[in-house]
Structure 1
Amino acid sequence: MKNQKVIDVYNGLVVKFKELISEYEIDHNDYQDLVNWMDQLGKAGEIPLFMDVFFETHALQEMYKNVKGTEPTILGPYYIENTPDIQNPGVLPQRENEPGDVLYFSGTVKDIDGNPLANTKIDMWQADANGEYSYFAEGIPANNLRGVFYTDANGEFEVKTVVPGNYSVPTDGPSGQFLKWVDHHAYRPAHLHLLFQPENGDKLVTQIYFEGDQYLEDDVAQGVRGSLITKLDKHEKAEKGLKNDYYTAHLDFELRLQDKPVFNKAVLNN
């Protein structure tokens, strides 16, 4: 079936590609190198990784450039559906003696008019202190540092977890080769993933970053938004009777309530 958007995008790509060939004097050997590299990208199963790292953030920025509310950012490749429900306030599922500094992360969820959104579903996942995700690294239990909870009557939530670590995107395949070509490191700043689903409104996929992270300015995935950076506050262990000092972080969120969501990705339409 004819798809006019596909036709328009294809024609636009042809025009831009011709301009690039002329501007940068791309010869047939260069073209063949590109084809071979793209073939390797597909065979390695890295097309989603490459698109997430280099293009998804730009698509989101364009989609939401005139939309009110908390800024979205990339979903990333480490999302897993159907993770355990936890209480609010609660503890993100984790190993006994989970490595890393304890973090209490809290927030308030409201609509763009400032009304609290009770019973908003929040799906949260993150890397551990070593920058590794459950399901994607050996030796980490299923659903470690993954869970689903709901805001209270005031739209508030608090989750006990650990401060996540920085990590590198995979560099042993074609995507890593591309990073070498463009002379860019492979690291992402430490972050928390949040997927919000209000009872009547637009889903929001976003990430939370922390002040002072060395990769905030040059995140390999270009996912950082200034409005999504918050502060890690350190507290004495005696305040909560813990064995070690701990951290707190807080950020408030504004969700869009509307009949037709702006963001519509197949993996999230369940």
Structure 2
Amino acid sequence: MTVKISHTPELQAFFQQVSGAGSSQGSPRAKQILLRLVSELARVLEDLEVTDDELWGAVDYVNRLGASNEAGLLVAGLGIEHFLDLLHDARDARQGNTGGTPRTIEGPLYVAGSPLSQGEARMDDGSEEGVATPLFIRGVVRDIEGKPVAGALVDLWHANTQGTYSYFDSSQSDYNLRRRIVTDAQGRYRARSIVPSGYGCNPAGPTQECLDLLGRHGQRPAHIHYFISAAGYRHLTTQINLSGEKYLWDDFAFATRDGLVGQVVFSEAGAAEQAAGVSGRFAELEFDFQLQPAAVPAEQQRSNRPRALQSA
């Protein structure tokens, strides 16, 4: 039986050296993670007989992925971000933390610092008026027992009718379709926006290049992202995927989950909508959220994932 070279004591000692195990400097946690990564990669190279051309082609791909700023997109597309949600769900189940609105992926398109409103806000800048369908979003933030949570911060963002997001799409105004809304005394939030479009990965980008090799599409259904936070409650990262979408249950980013489908109702504008400046067809989406109590203060905060910040 041939012993795999990557499994030998000599190579394991080499990987220890590579990861800085013999140095008192650096981060012990980084060393631990890198040792595991290098060891596993070596086994992949050996076990699957990866060629030099395949390896250096992958290195070139990583360079192009970083240059395109699509690494966060690929993490979602390969299911890694969804796997993090499954890990958190499993830990919650072991600890008896059940109930509340399901979490799902954040995605790579959040921008910090959007305008803050009390109770309600208009999210769109009017640039797609006559093209987009007006959308009225409303709901209530509650605790596990169903009591409204006043003063909760509802931070929401979504794409326009072309499937693009402000900041990342320079043709849109700052913070278009991005708002933060503080719930009122009854835990309610309300927003006027437009019905977003689903979208796909850049067909010429490295994420779609990878998906093509896997025989997969890169399409997402229309959806609305949410961060919801309140003092004493666990921060919730989630998104609502809109009903009736072709890719609702075939989202390349694996974000659709039971309990996170929003029913969009279309109607013709009546007197109340016309008084608000809406004519013709409009849509309504009502979605309530339930927050779990925070066991420790750190649970009230979102992760320190690097995020975009609109320049002044």
Aligned to 1:80: 111
* Unaligned residue ranges in structure 1 (runs of 5+): none
Distance (whole Å) between structure 2 residues aligned to residue 202 and residue 121 of structure 1: 12
How far, CA to CA, are the matches of 2:288 and 2:228 in structure 1?
12
TM normalised by structure 1 equals 0.87
Q: 1:113 to 1:22 in 2, by over 3 A?
A: farther
CA–CA distance in 2 between the matches of 1:244 and 1:181?
44
Tell me if 1:40 matches 2:64: yes
Aligned twin of 1:265: 304
Structure 2 residue aligned with 1:141? 173
* TM-aligned CA distance change 1:81 to 1:252, over 3 Å: same
1:44-63 aligned within 5 A? 44-54=68-78, 55-63=80-88
Identical-residue share of aligned pairs (%): 26
Return 22-31 or 60-69, whichever deviates more: 22-31
Deviation at 1:21, TM superposition (A): 4.3
3-state SS of paired residue (2:290): strand
Describe the SS at the equivalent of 1:179.
helix
1:86, 1:263 → 2: CA distance? 20
Give the Cα separation in 2 of the matches to 1:132 and 1:266. Answer: 22
TM-score for both structures, normalised by structure 2: 0.77
Matched residue type, 1:172 = A
| Structure-2 residue corresponding to 1:244 | 280
**Equivalent residues of 1:194, 1:207 under 8 A apart:** yes
* Cα RMSD, aligned residues only: 2.5
Partner of 2:196: 164
Letter in 1 for 2:123: L
Unaligned runs of 5+ in 2: 1-24, 93-97
Name the aligned partner's letter for residue 245 of structure 1.
R
Q: Say whether the 8 Å CA contact 1:95–1:141 is kept in structure 2.
A: no
1:198 aligned onto 2:230 = yes
Pairwise CA distance, 1:196: 1.0
2:241 corresponds in structure 1 to: 209
Q: Which runs of 4+ in 1 moved over 6 A?
A: none
Partner of 2:291: 255
The alignment status of 1:175 with 2:200, answered yes or no, reads: no
Asked if the contact 2:76–2:254 (Cα under 8 Å) also holds between the matched residues in 1, the reply is: no
Bigger Rg, structure 1 or 2: 2
User: Aligned-pair distance for 1:14?
Assistant: 4.7
Which deviates more, 73-82 or 16-25?
16-25
Q: Which amino acid aligns with 2:209?
A: Q
Change beyond 3 A, Cα 1:25–1:98: farther
Q: What is the Cα deviation at residue 77 of structure 1?
A: 2.2
Counterpart in the other structure of 1:112: 144
Work out which of the residue numbers 221, 228, 252 in structure 2 matches 1:220.
Answer: 252
> How has the CA–CA distance of structure 1 residues 92 and 45 changed in structure 2, closer, same or farther, with 3 Å as cutoff?
closer
Alignment CA distance shift 1:178-1:257 (3 Å) = same
Which of these residues, 108, 118, 122, is aligned with residue 91 of structure 1? 122
**Per-residue Cα deviation, 1:31-81 (whole angstroms, up to 9, x for no partner):** 232222223223333323322432222112212334332222222222111
Aligned equivalents of 2:131, 2:158: Cα separation in 1:
13
C-alpha separation in 2, matches of 1:225 and 1:165: 19
What CA distance in whole angstroms lies between the structure 1 residues aligned with 2:67 and 2:267?
A: 49
Structure 1 residues 110 and 98 mapped into 2: Cα distance closer, same or farther (>3 Å)? farther
Question: Are residue 155 (structure 1) and residue 191 (structure 2) matched?
Answer: no
Q: Hey, what's the Cα distance between the residues in 1 that align with 2:193 and 2:230?
A: 23
**SS state of the match for residue 77, structure 2?**
helix
